[in-house]
Amino acid sequence: MYFILKEPHQAGSGHILLPRQFCGSDYFLGPKGLKMGSFLPAVAEQLLADIQRTYEDTAHIPDDLLIALTFVLGSCVLPALDLVDRRSVSRLSSPSGRSVFQVVGGSGRVYTCLTSCHFCPCPSFAYAVLHRGGALMCKHLLAVYLSQAMGVTQQDAVTDQHMTALLSRGTLP
């Protein structure tokens, strides 16, 4: 269940849909962000879990979840959904148990994303997440999380040598 919350004492302020467990007088999202900043990653994680649950049951993502995801993660949501629709996300696994995700970006460039440490080598991640700190993730990482939640990630096996090369150089030999 999601609620529409308004920032207290400010008429016309921004709205956001929050999961029930984050609702209360001390937790709200407004145009200036979450007042309890350390909960923002938990909100994004909860939204992705809700998307997975709902998608498994209905094979679509309801508008309220998309609106909430867009409010929390910003403008990367629609491009990420486009990458998922184009089946641009692959999970590469090696016999040793290591795995990474590769996302073919809109320009055709392949980005190797590491969900274990929440990293993408794209310029947007470097600037918006690492340098400026105003975003949680780029469209490539979000596409990985969404494709996993929707069960549409392509699965590919690679050798341990290929995985080593991929992790050390960022490309397959």
Q: Are 111 and 10 in contact (CB under 8 A)?
A: no
pLDDT tens profile 58-90: 999 999 999 999 999 999 999 999 999 999 999
| Angle (CA) 146 126 64, round 5° | 30
Question: What percentage of the chain reaches a pLDDT higher than 90?
Answer: 57
Model pLDDT for residues 11-57, shown as the tens digit of each residue: 333 434 444 333 333 333 333 333 333 345 888 889 999 999 999 99
pLDDT score at 61: 92
Q: Side chain identity at 167, as an amino acid letter?
A: L
Q: What is the dihedral of CA 105, 66, 6, 44, to 10 degrees?
A: -60
Most confident of the ranges 23-32, 114-123, 148-157: 148-157
Q: Where are the domains of the chain?
A: 2-169
Decide: helix, strand or coil at residue 118: coil
Higher per-residue pLDDT: 24 or 122:
122
Contacts 24+ apart (CB under 8 A), 160-163: 160/94, 160/95, 160/96, 160/98, 162/92, 162/94, 163/92, 163/94, 163/96, 163/98, 163/100
What is residue 14's predicted lDDT score, i.e. its pLDDT?
Answer: 41
**pLDDT of 1 strictly over 70:** no
